[in-house]
Each structure stands twice: as C-alpha cells, then as structure tokens.
Structure 1
Amino acid sequence: MTMSDVHDAQLALACLDYTRLQEHDSEDAMCQFVAQINTAYALPAALCVYPQWLQLTRRELDNRNLQQIPLATVTNFPTGDEDLTTVLAQTREALQLGTNEIDLVLPYRALQQGDEQKALEYVRQSRELCANKAKLKVIIESGELSLSQVRIASRIAIAGGADFIKTSTGKVAINATPEAVAVIFDEVAHSGRAVGVKVSGGVKNLSQAQLYLDMAVNTMGGAWLTPFNFRFGASSLLGELYKVL
C-alpha cells in the first residue's frame, strides 16, 4: 500500500454517498448500516436511503453525534417510469421527511424515444421544489443509453438545473463506465455551470475508484475534486476503503 493509495482512499471516502437501497429491509438492518461508519476516518459525503428510512437514519446519526452528515434519498426510482405528478409528490414528501439531497431518476426511456422535453420537465419541476432546500442529483441511467444519448441526457440535466449528474441507479445490468463518465465530464466542463458528477454503480474497491478520481483530475483539475463537486454512490466501497486506511 502506497501513500498515494492512502490519500486516494481518504478522498474517495470523503466523496462517498454511502448507500443502502435494498427493496426489503428492516430497522435493525438500517441501524447496522449507520453503525458501519467509523469516525476515526473521514466521514462520508452523505447517506443515501429510501424515503421511508430517512427519519430513522437521521435519528441514528444524531445518536452518534453525526448530525453533519447529509441525507439523500431517491425519486422516480429505480425505473424512471413514474408520472410527473407522482414524482413531485415523492419529492415533497422526502423534503418534509428531512432529506438534504434528492437523487431523481430521469425518465430515460422517454429520452430513448426522442422525448427530450418530458425529461427536461422532470428535472425542471423537481429543481423548483428543491430550490434552497436540497441538492438535486439527476440519475441518467447511462448504462441503458448510447454515448450520444448520455450526452443529451447530461445536457438536459444541466439545463434543468441539476446540482449533480449521476450515472446510474445500480439496478440495471450496466452501470457506471469510464466511457460514459468521460462524456459527462466533457459536458460539465463545457457547460460553464457549477454541476457535479456522481459515479454510481459498480465501484467496489479502491482501484476502481482511483480510475474515476484520475479522470476527474485530468478533466476538471485537482482543485475541483471535492465532495461539493464529485461523489461516488456505493454500498460496499465504504468497507473496502476502511481496509486500505
């Protein structure tokens, strides 16, 4: 293990949205999820859970004096097929439950069929609800799109006011890939807007994380690489980073 590996592990940990999105879960499992956080190291950038677990997760964080860790949750998840009225209702409820960040699944199947306006409205109207209340991270489900569609989806997310573009739900066969992330970085770099990137799905160890850290530095510059601009979304990465540290 090199000093560079330790540095990268610390950075990846600080940029991690530690995630638990299991369809069937229990209070005990969610409590154990929070208990995995080791305060001897950098804290995760956020915890991402289903809406029904927001209050319990916040309680468990408060009990450990970890109030500073933001909570994220998901809407239109995982298929991206909910109607807009339902998605906005999910967003309002999540905000009332205390979420600090919303990870919205873009209606990517509509985008595949050429309906860019529908995709844009989901982002715009979700952004309106989140304004001054929560960050909006837009999941484009890049593994289900061609690279040209990844570019279009990224532009839609940026135009709609997303704070982050997120690659994937982690619920499809192909999740984050270097090729798709390169396209997203390119769109963010040329947008002139302060939009972050979240690499999610399939990042399970330090070497995989380092690939994307290097891409971020090479494209956006080292000063850009902070939790305000870059995130990983993962469930097993936390433990792997602890092993390195």
Structure 2
Amino acid sequence: MTSEAMKAVAKRTLGLIDLTNLNDDCTPSDIEKLVARATCEHGSVAAICIYPQFIKQAAELLKSSPVRIATVVNFPQGGEDTLAVVEQTRQAVADGADEIDLVMPYKAFAAGRRGFAEDQIKKVRDAIPAPAQLKVILETGELKDPRLIHLASEIAIAQGADFIKTSTGKVAVNATLDAAEIMLNVLRETSVENHRQVGFKPAGGIRSLDDAKAYLDLADELMGQNWVSAATFRFGASGLLDAVISGIEGHEEESKEAY
C-alpha cells in the first residue's frame, strides 16, 4: 500500500477495533493499561474485550468514555453447562458489560446436536437486556466444514445474535478470509428476512493493516461500500492498534503482538 492508502485504512480501522486482553495472566494493572490505550489523539476504539472479573474495574475507568465494554462467556471451551453460562451472562451485564461474546457449544453442534446449540444461544440472548448486545463466537477454525460454518451462522442469527464472530483466538486456526466470506454471505442472504442489522467480527491473528484491509475489502464487496461501521463490523485484536497508529502517523512498522 502507498502511505496515503495505508493511512486511509488505518483511520477506517481504528473505530472498528475491540481492543482485547484475554491473556490467562491478565491483571488489574493490565486492564488499566488497556483502557488507557483505548483512546488516543487519533480517536477511540469501539470497545475493549476483557474477562468478566475485570468488568467492574473497566466500567469505573470508562464511565465518561464512549468505549464499550465487551466480555466473554462460555470461553474458550464452548461448554455445555447452559445454566452456568446464563448466570455468568446476567452477572456480566449487571457488572457493566455492554456486549457479551458467547462461545457457542461448537463441539456439541459439530457432533450433530443443533438443538442444544440453538437452546443455549437463545437462553443467553434472553438474559441480555437491551441495549446490551450479543456476539456469538462460532469457532470456525474448529468447525472447519464450510457447511457447518454456514449453518452455525444461520443458527446464531436466528436465535438473536447481534454479531457473529469467527473465533476465540485460542485455537490453532482463528479468523480466515474463507470463513469470513461464508459468514458475510449468510448475513447478506438473511438481512432482508430478519428485518434487523446483524454484524460480523473476525478475531484472532489480525495484526497488520494488510490483514485489516483484506477483511474490509471483502466486506465492501459482499455487503456494499456503506455497510461497514462499528455497528456492523468489529476486529477482535490486541496488536492491531499499534499498526493502526503507525499507519495514521505514517510509519511503516506494524505490531508483532499476538492476539
């Protein structure tokens, strides 16, 4: 990319990032640093994405900020204890979470238990009062089969997801353009019949402006030039912000941080 093209992609990307720290060794000090990074002289990210135990701390730090708080439930295993997941969800919203990123029970779903997956997503959806939102993580790198990814996308949307998300970032294969194409096509196919807007979130392994541009270009191609916004598209990432700031400021360097 030319420097001007790089700057344009960087400016477009900044407000689409869910700035993430889902490291196993995350501490309250790390949350302070994450919140501090979420707003810079060039603008703010869309949200921070953190573990539930840090929601109250983040809510206090962000009480005068437009940055939203996303958290994860049933993470990362996508387990089958639906009652526990629902309770975790209710507590997260009570603590101040604006967005719930639910790992669907993808192993049960892949084993043919579609109804179980539908039921868990629906029960979590019912536990989230407006205006809080639900993102459903499909774990596409584990589903592998394009037909399963397509069906999982349809199920998540039908059960009330506000976003469908590729990955946890905790497995061998996370966000890919192939999975993104399938998921975006489902969004395009179902947008009219659903009469509501559902977004897309690629997550895991997206670190450079070239990575970001590839996903944005795909979304523009499939969904139209005016579709992408923070209401419809998020990047789940930790290191991407460094690349974005470098791009806005005209530097070549890009972050090597892992998701």
Please indicate the TM-score interval, normalised by the length of the shorter structure: over 0.9
The answer for the alignment partner of 1:83 in structure 2 is 81
Q: Could you report, residue by residue, the CA deviation over 1:49-79 in whole angstroms, capped at 9, with x for unpaired residues?
A: 00111111122234xx4x2111000000001
The answer for the alignment partner of 1:157 in structure 2 is 156
**Separation (CA, whole Å) in 2 of partners of 1:10 and 1:82:** 40
> What amino acid is aligned across from residue 127 of structure 2 in structure 1?
L
**Separation (CA, whole Å) in 1 of partners of 2:5 and 2:228:** 15
| Equivalent position SS for 2:120 | helix
**Separation (CA, whole Å) in 1 of partners of 2:141 and 2:236:** 15
The answer for the alignment partner of 1:210 in structure 2 is 213
**Separation (CA, whole Å) in 2 of partners of 1:87 and 1:124:** 12
| CA apart distance, 1:239 | 1.1
CA contact (8 A) 2:18 2:49 kept: yes
Q: Could you report, residue by residue, the CA deviation over 1:7-42 in whole angstroms, capped at 9, with x for unpaired residues?
A: 111111111100111112222122112222342112
| Equivalent position SS for 1:114 | coil
The answer for the alignment partner of 2:254 in structure 1 is none
CA contact (8 A) 2:38 2:67 kept: no
**Separation (CA, whole Å) in 1 of partners of 2:39 and 2:160:** 34
| Equivalent position SS for 1:31 | helix
Identity percentage of aligned residues: 39
**Separation (CA, whole Å) in 2 of partners of 1:60 and 1:205:** 28
TM-score by length of 1: 0.96
- Runs of at least 5 residues in structure 1 that lack an aligned partner in the other structure: none
CA contact (8 A) 1:15 1:232 kept: yes
| CA apart distance, 1:207 | 0.2
| Equivalent position SS for 1:18 | strand
Q: Could you report, residue by residue, the CA deviation over 1:131-180 in whole angstroms, capped at 9, with x for unpaired residues?
A: 31411000000000111110010011011010000000000000011111
- Runs of at least 5 residues in structure 2 that lack an aligned partner in the other structure: 249-259
**Separation (CA, whole Å) in 2 of partners of 1:82 and 1:10:** 40
| CA apart distance, 1:128 | 1.0
Q: How do 1:129-208 residues align onto structure 2 when only pairs under 5 Å count?
A: 129-145=127-143, 146-192=145-191, 193=194, 194-208=197-211
The answer for the alignment partner of 2:229 in structure 1 is 226
CA contact (8 A) 2:141 2:171 kept: yes
The answer for the alignment partner of 2:23 in structure 1 is 22
CA contact (8 A) 2:38 2:48 kept: no
Q: Could you report, residue by residue, the CA deviation over 1:172-191 in whole angstroms, capped at 9, with x for unpaired residues?
A: 00001111110000100000
CA contact (8 A) 2:19 2:34 kept: no
> What amino acid is aligned across from residue 114 of structure 1 in structure 2?
G
The answer for the alignment partner of 1:37 in structure 2 is 38
Q: How well do the aligned residues superpose, as a CA RMSD in angstroms? A: 1.1
Q: Residues 129, 38 of structure 1: CA spacing in aligned structure 2 closer, same or farther, 3 A cutoff?
A: closer
**Separation (CA, whole Å) in 2 of partners of 1:166 and 1:19:** 14
Q: Could you report, residue by residue, the CA deviation over 1:199-222 in whole angstroms, capped at 9, with x for unpaired residues?
A: 101101100010000000000011
Q: How do 1:70-109 residues align onto structure 2 when only pairs under 5 Å count?
A: 70-109=68-107
| Equivalent position SS for 1:224 | coil
Q: Residues 99, 38 of structure 1: CA spacing in aligned structure 2 closer, same or farther, 3 A cutoff?
A: closer
**Separation (CA, whole Å) in 2 of partners of 1:115 and 1:49:** 29
The answer for the alignment partner of 2:251 in structure 1 is none
**Separation (CA, whole Å) in 2 of partners of 1:30 and 1:156:** 33
**Separation (CA, whole Å) in 2 of partners of 1:32 and 1:2:** 29
**Separation (CA, whole Å) in 1 of partners of 2:38 and 2:70:** 16
